[in-house]
């Protein structure tokens, strides 16, 4: 049975080959001063930087820059961004990059005028902003996180060895996002595949919750089938526009909060993956892939009906003459085979994980109660040990 909910998503999207024209429509709505946020400089090599800058200048904007946002944005980098935003007196933060850049821009946006330490207020205590914030716009260059259409922000505290996320309310979503699938063509294969699994994990975190016949589950099954199909094409032909556009659109819908409505949701895989990343700084989607199969095999008996449905409706497993558990496990086997086929990292050793640090990973694992089984310390310990 669908629970009660309110749904609001105020982000305006511009999608397609001409999506960047939307920037010309949006910029006049904001003041003169724009803080341009981006990562390691790949947007300068592929020409996206110059195209964005040309539009900013044509619209009469005074542009300041905040470059060097890393794949797992850190507390220290956010402090740096706060200082840059204050110095620039920014009226708009324009994030050009993937999910990490978008996450970072949101963290800076809500922290510039925060009277407290932003890490403690937002990421430890999970509170909402009660200060003036700076609007954010996004030009997406890599897909996976869905950060272009949600309030999520994930930040790493290296000193504390913690990687925590906070989902800000709809008032703090990006005001607009530019989605041109062609902007993702030059993303390295490792990063593309990582993003693909991040999309899948977002859907599964919401799918493997509740046991009723929920409309959202039908939508998610369709999204998963599209993702599986398009991913297999994209890993062979990175410039296949249809496949890359389907991946981009699926990523957005996977985490713009729509499919979560009326469901309890899980997020334990993300909690496990973030704990690992806090120690290894490994690529997000790969940390999720490394811990997923041990986690799902652990909770399968507690959500058997849903795992059976997943096997049949997503992976095409035939149920004829088989027990429910056999069907469910065949579904997970099909998922694992696909993960290996597209090139995901399937163990945490290859990501720099160390057995002697498992107790630290256990301690850093934050959310434990969302799934079909509340995870104990021993459950988490077993998952990490099985992930080597």
DSSP 74: B
Exposure class string for 139-164: b at 16+ Cβ within 10 A, else e: bbbbbbbbbbbbbbbbbbbeeeebbb
Within 13 A of 187's CA, how many CA atoms are on the CB side? 27
Q: What is the DSSP string of 212-235?
A: S--HHHHHHHHHHHHHHHHHHHHT
pLDDT in tens, 256-299: 999 999 889 999 999 999 999 999 999 999 999 999 999 999 99
Rounded Cα distance between 374 and 388, Å, is 22
Q: Are 247 and 194 in contact (CB under 8 A)?
A: no
Q: Residue 347, class by beta-carbon neighbours within 10 Å (0-12 exposed, 13-18 middle, 19+ buried)?
A: middle
Total Cβ atoms within 10 A of residue 85: 23
- The CA distances from residue 125 to 82, 147, 286, in Å, are 20, 21, 27
Share of the chain above pLDDT 90, in %: 95
Q: Reduce the DSSP state of residue 64 to 3 states and report it.
A: strand
3-state DSSP helix/strand/coil percent for the chain, to nearest 5? 55, 10, 35
197 CB-near residues (< 8 Å, 6+ apart):
144, 285, 286, 288, 289, 339, 344
* Residue whose tokens read 């107790």: 359
Rounded Cα distance between 375 and 134, Å, is 38
Q: What are phi and psi of 317, to 5 degrees?
A: -70, 130
> H helices of 10-74, where?
21-26, 42-45, 48-58
Total Cβ atoms within 10 A of residue 76: 12
Q: Tokens standing for 151?
A: 């309030």
Q: Tokens standing for 223?
A: 């999204």
Q: Tokens standing for 64?
A: 């300041």
Give the model's pLDDT for residue 306: 97
Nearest to 119, CA basis, from 172, 80, 164, 181: 164
Q: Are 355 and 381 in contact (CB under 8 A)?
A: no
Task: Give me the tens of pLDDT residue by residue for the chain, a chain 388 residues long.
Answer: 677 888 999 999 999 999 999 999 999 999 999 999 999 989 999 999 999 999 999 999 999 999 999 999 999 999 999 999 999 999 999 999 999 999 999 999 999 999 999 999 999 999 999 999 999 999 999 999 999 999 999 999 999 999 999 999 999 999 999 999 999 999 999 999 999 999 999 999 999 998 888 899 999 999 999 999 999 999 999 999 999 999 999 999 999 999 999 889 999 999 999 999 999 999 999 999 999 999 999 999 999 999 999 999 999 999 999 999 999 999 999 999 999 999 999 999 999 999 999 999 999 999 899 899 999 999 999 999 999 9
Positive or negative, the CA dihedral 189, 78, 46, 182 is: positive
Q: Are 105 and 138 in contact (CB under 8 A)?
A: yes
DSSP 376: P
The H-or-E segment that residue 176 falls in is strand 176-179
Rounded Cα distance between 355 and 362, Å, is 12
Q: Are 278 and 365 in contact (CB under 8 A)?
A: no
Q: Which domains does the chain possess? A: 12-183 (3.40.50.1970), 189-386 (1.20.1090.10)
Rounded Cα distance between 137 and 130, Å, is 21
Strand partners, 346: none
DSSP 29: G
């Amino acid at each position: 049975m669908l629970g009660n909910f309110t749904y609001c998503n105020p982000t305006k999207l511009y999608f397609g080959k001409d999506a960047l024209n939307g920037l010309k429509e949006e910029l006049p709505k904001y003041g003169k001063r724009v803080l341009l946020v981006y990562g390691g400089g790949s947007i300068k090599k592929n020409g996206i930087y110059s195209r964005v800058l040309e539009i900013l200048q044509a619209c009469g904007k005074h542009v300041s820059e905040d470059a060097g946002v890393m794949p797992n944005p850190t507390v220290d980098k956010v402090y740096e961004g706060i200082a840059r935003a204050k110095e620039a007196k920014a009226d708009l933060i324009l994030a050009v990059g993937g999910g990490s850049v978008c996450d970072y821009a949101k963290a800076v946006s809500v922290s510039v005028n925060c009277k407290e330490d932003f890490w403690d207020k937002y990421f430890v205590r999970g509170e909402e902003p009660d200060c003036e914030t700076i609007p954010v716009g996004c030009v997406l260059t890599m897909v996976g996180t869905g950060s272009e259409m949600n309030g999520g922000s994930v930040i790493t505290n290296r000193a504390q060895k913690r990687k925590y996320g906070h989902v800000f309310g709809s008032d703090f979503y990006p005001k607009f996002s530019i989605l041109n699938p062609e902007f993702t063509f030059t993303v390295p294969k490792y990063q593309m595949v990582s993003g693909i699994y991040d999309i899948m994990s977002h859907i599964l975190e919401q799918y493997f919750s509740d046991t009723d016949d929920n409309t959202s589950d039908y939508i998610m099954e369709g999204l998963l089938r599209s993702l599986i199909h398009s991913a297999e094409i994209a890993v062979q032909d990175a410039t296949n526009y249809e496949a890359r556009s389907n991946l981009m659109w699926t990523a957005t819908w996977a985490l713009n909060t729509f499919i979560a409505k009326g469901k309890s949701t899980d997020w334990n895989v993300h909690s496990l993956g973030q704990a690992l990343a806090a120690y290894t700084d490994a690529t997000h989607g790969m940390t999720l892939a490394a811990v997923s199969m041990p986690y799902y095999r652990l909770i399968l008996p507690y959500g058997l009906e849903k795992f059976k449905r997943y096997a049949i409706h997503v992976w095409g497993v035939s149920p004829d003459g088989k027990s429910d558990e056999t069907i469910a496990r065949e579904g997970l086997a099909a998922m694992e085979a696909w993960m290996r086929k597209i090139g995901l990292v399937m163990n945490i050793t290859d990501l720099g994980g160390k057995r002697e640090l498992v107790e630290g990973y256990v301690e850093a694992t934050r959310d434990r109660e969302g799934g079909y089984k509340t995870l104990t310390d021993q459950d988490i310990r077993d998952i990490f040990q099985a992930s080597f």
